[in-house]
Amino acid sequence: MEWYWLPEYLPRFAEGLWLTIQLLVISIIIGMSLAIPIGLVQVTGPRPLAWLAKGFCTIVRGTPLLIQLWLIYYGVGSLFPSIPGIRESFLWPILRDAFPYAILAFSISVAGYEGEIMRGAFRGVPKGELEAARAIGMTPFQILRRVWLPRALQNVFPTLTGEFILTLKATPLAATITIYEAFGISSIVRQETYRIYEPLLFVAFLYLCLAAIMILIFRYFENKIPKRAS
């Protein structure tokens, strides 16, 4: 094993790691804010919206993330340059960059998987607790905000933790569309030093650390959830 290259590339790994974290956190935030309404309409209706949400989840969950990512980057992304004048517009720096396409693809993926989980989560909240909220005079939005959503999230919290860690481990796919996140940097090291195993081992170790940190953070919140007695 040769590690002489490591000090030289450490700063680049730091940058890559930072990109990985950004990609993960932003995608989870956007994805979850989509997943909540996607899960909710499947329980409350109206029917057409429920079908739409169900269809979305089925397609996202039924196709490989790599293909979704490439369809969005090479497909949607290649449509923009053909629009006249767009290269001069203020949008171009965003549209030219690969990162927003990765955010879009990962957010959609999170929305699809977690939307399905949130459907079950909303359905699993005991009807009586929602009835008590209605009986006390809450508006539908208050019921959602104060009782239904927090209870639903509480029920699926451990499941969501697992899902987010799976998302973390899917982020190396972004390297295939020119995003030099942590894994992308290890590829650069391989190309420049011809060391194959060491950079891979190192980057695997980085993901392990990230996953461990995530688990610790989520465990902290999970411990705040009251457990059922008995």
Partner 1 sequence: MERKKPSKNYGKTLEVNELHKSYGELEVLKGVSLSAQEGDVVTMIGASGSGKSTFLRCVNLLELPTAGEIKLKGEAVEFKNGKEHLVPSNKRQVERFRSHLGMVFQGFNLWQHMTVMQNVIEGPIQVLKKPKAEALELAEKILNRVGLWDKRNEYPAFMSGGQQQRAAIARALAMEPSVMLFDEPTSALDPELVGEVLKVIQSLAEEGRTMIMVTHEMKFARDVSTEVIYLHEGIIEEQGPPSQVFNNPKSDRCKQFVQSVH
- Judged by CB under 8 A, which of 96, 134, 169, 219 binds partner 1? 134
CB atoms within 10 A of CB 24: 22
Nearer to partner 1, 8 or 131 (CB): 131
Distance of CA 165 to the CA centre of its chain: 9
Rounded CA-CA distance 128/147 in Å is: 11
Q: How far is the CB of 226 from partner 1 (least distance, A)?
A: 4
Q: How far is the CB of 124 from partner 1 (least distance, A)?
A: 12
- Which two structure tokens, joined as six digits, stand for 165? 């860690």
Closest CA to 143 of 124, 157, 129, 126: 129
Residue 226 near partner 1 by CB under 8 A: yes
Nearer to partner 1, 148 or 164 (CB): 148
Residue 135 near partner 1 by CB under 8 A: yes
Name residues contacting partner 1, limited to 111-130 (CB under 8 A).
Answer: 126, 128-129
Name residues contacting partner 1, limited to 165-204 (CB under 8 A).
Answer: none
Nearer to partner 1, 78 or 230 (CB): 230
Nearer to partner 1, 154 or 176 (CB): 154
Name residues contacting partner 1, limited to 142-171 (CB under 8 A).
Answer: 142, 146-147, 150-151, 154
Residue 131 near partner 1 by CB under 8 A: yes
Size of the site for partner 1 (CB under 8 A): 23
Rounded CA-CA distance 106/100 in Å is: 10
Asked whether 49 and 185 are in contact (CB, 8 A), the reply is: no
- Which two structure tokens, joined as six digits, stand for 3? 């590690």
Residue 132 near partner 1 by CB under 8 A: yes
Residue 225 near partner 1 by CB under 8 A: yes
Closest CA to 146 of 156, 134, 155: 134
Between the alpha carbon of residue 8 and those of residues 192, 203, 205, the distances in Å are 12, 15, 18
H-helix segments, 45-147: 47-62, 65-70, 77-79, 92-96, 99-124, 127-135, 140-143
Residue 137 near partner 1 by CB under 8 A: yes
Residues that bind partner 1 (CB under 8 A): 126, 128-129, 131-139, 142, 146-147, 150-151, 154, 225-229
